[in-house]
Amino acid sequence: MEKEKPLILLSNDDGVKAKGLNELIKALHGIGKIVVMAPDGPRSGASGSITSEYPVRYNKVREDEDLVVYKCTGTPVDCVKLALHEVVSRRPDLVIGGINHGDNSSVNVHYSGTMGVVIEGCLKGIPSIGYSLCNHSADADFSPLFPYVRRMAEEVLAHGLPQGVCLNVNFPDTPAYKGVRICRQTRGAWINEWERNRHPRGGEYFWLTGVFDNHEPEAEDSDHWALNHGYVAVTPTQIDVTAYGMMDELKGWNWNV
Amino acid sequence: MEKEKPLILLSNDDGVKAKGLNELIKALHGIGKIVVMAPDGPRSGASGSITSEYPVRYNKVREDEDLVVYKCTGTPVDCVKLALHEVVSRRPDLVIGGINHGDNSSVNVHYSGTMGVVIEGCLKGIPSIGYSLCNHSADADFSPLFPYVRRMAEEVLAHGLPQGVCLNVNFPDTPAYKGVRICRQTRGAWINEWERNRHPRGGEYFWLTGVFDNHEPEAEDSDHWALNHGYVAVTPTQIDVTAYGMMDELKGWNWNV
């Protein structure tokens, strides 16, 4: 009996029509059956958000050999939850978020809808990878990523990942890569985050923008350093966010009321 | 010269009119100057989401002695970012999210807009606490929390918190508490997450719902165990989500393309 092909669930936060998602489908061609459930429009910055106030709908938009694509009215995390509950015939072997148009290294992991997809896959016990390219443009060139995207998916399918660990993979916006580096999340923060404008009928409104302030630009083990120096950054990421190192100190505080 | 009062920034994900937020203001009365920037309506499940596709606006809705309240069209995280950039006269001494109507222990930290507020405060280097009550009802009784909410805020103002660590505090829905326990995040997942309905004009739609499946119900150091046994659960939470324990193994994988 032929071995069953791996089942791979894809989603993203740039929406079902985004180039990054459609390039991801091409990059993975032939390595398994692919199911896509992606938002029906842009959800950039959706993080791990879920839709609790409204109902969610989905419908099929494309079907080819070993490929079926659905679009969904919900968030990236809703897409993963709904695909797992409603459309897949069995538990996927791999969940992939991306390919995101834009950098999800460092603290961006907390805002990223792409990493929302990946963390949700991981919470469901499925090996999960997020791919992001440090280029926001709608027509960015994703072709240099293809062999890496495929190789990493094959490695994760072969080795699996420990429960509670997923991968956040970011690609620098350079024509050639110096290699792959295993990294930790860079310490830093966004600053100067709002651009103020005056509405023609009065009052002010604000666009979220900003500059990333790297608190440790010389840290060679950090993901931002890797990207700035032409390396593909692989940051293993965990869903247990307990600050274990703080537990003993807190036990000594005065909690009496 | 009199010592300056602490400046405390509050936000939530249930919206500016939610009882939990207004009870939080009462619980903190007198310990400092309070600035509130809260969403103009419910944003439950907003996680760390930010508004990138639309402009954001805010306006003042209330001003009393040592209290000013703004409402904002954005997400909980937008509220923190906008308050820090536009309305506070100096860096706050404390950021508080809540009091949330509903449990944010265990994996809920990844979906919670309340914890989005807290993680954002922490990313900005400010000691931050999230308070949540395990009761979803709009008119839940928050009064048993008051002495704990106040004590914990005073402790954090007195001790500070290490960079990159915030507190996720959950209160059981019981009339009296057995005490406070310092906990770790419970391993578990939501299951049976969608309720399907048929639209009167055709097609299906889905409501996000579900049941929490605790993977370690006997783990006495976990936050879910504490809540189920009548304790207030304090879970120290970190913004560095690197899976450090996985880095060496990944360095041995085949990344060649």
The answer to whether B255 contacts A155, with C-beta atoms less than 8 Å apart, is yes
Most A CBs within 10 A among B101, B154, B184, B242, hence the mutation to make, goes to: B242
In this prediction, residue A1 carries a pLDDT of 56
* Mutation for testing the B interface, residue in A40, A47, A180 having most B CBs under 10 Å: A47
Across the interface, whether the CB atoms of B197 and A148 are under 8 A apart is answered no
Spatial separation of the C-alpha atoms in residues B175 and A143, rounded to whole Å: 60
- A·B CB contacts under 8 A: 238
The per-residue pLDDT for range B72-115, each reduced to its tens digit, is: 999 999 999 999 999 999 999 999 999 999 999 999 999 999 99
Considering only CB atoms, B47 lies closest to which of A49, A193, A250, namely A49
With a cut of 50, list the residues of chain A below it in pLDDT. none
pLDDT at B2 over 70: no
Give the pLDDT mean for B20-28. Answer: 98
Which pLDDT value is given to residue B1?
A: 55
CA trace torsion B45, B51, B57, B61 (10° rounding): 20
Quick one: pLDDT at residue A77? 98
The average pLDDT across B236-244 equals 98
- Longest CA pairwise span in chain A (Å): 70
> Beta A94-101 vs A7-11: how paired, if at all?
parallel
Which of the two residues, A188 and B256, has the higher pLDDT score? Answer: A188
Q: What tens digit of pLDDT does each residue of B208-219 get?
A: 999 999 999 999
Q: Do A147 and B52 make contact, defined as CB atoms within 8 angstroms?
A: no
Q: How high is the pLDDT of residue A256?
A: 87
**Residue A200: CB atoms within 10 Å:** 6
Mean pLDDT of chain B: 96
Quick one: three-class SS letters along chain A?
Answer: CCCCCCEEEEECCCCCCCHHHHHHHHHCCCCCEEEEEEECCCCCCCCCCCCCCCCECEEEEEEECCEEEEEECCCHHHHHHHHHHHHCCCCCCEEEEEEEECCCCHHHHHCCHHHHHHHHHHHCCCCEEEEEECCCCCCCCCHHHHHHHHHHHHHHHHHCCCCCEEEEEEECCCCCCCCEEECECCCEEEECCEEEEECCCCCEEEEECCEEEECCCCCCCEHHHHHHCCCEEEEEEECCCECHHHHHHHHCCCCCC
B243 with A237: Cβ contact below 8 A: yes
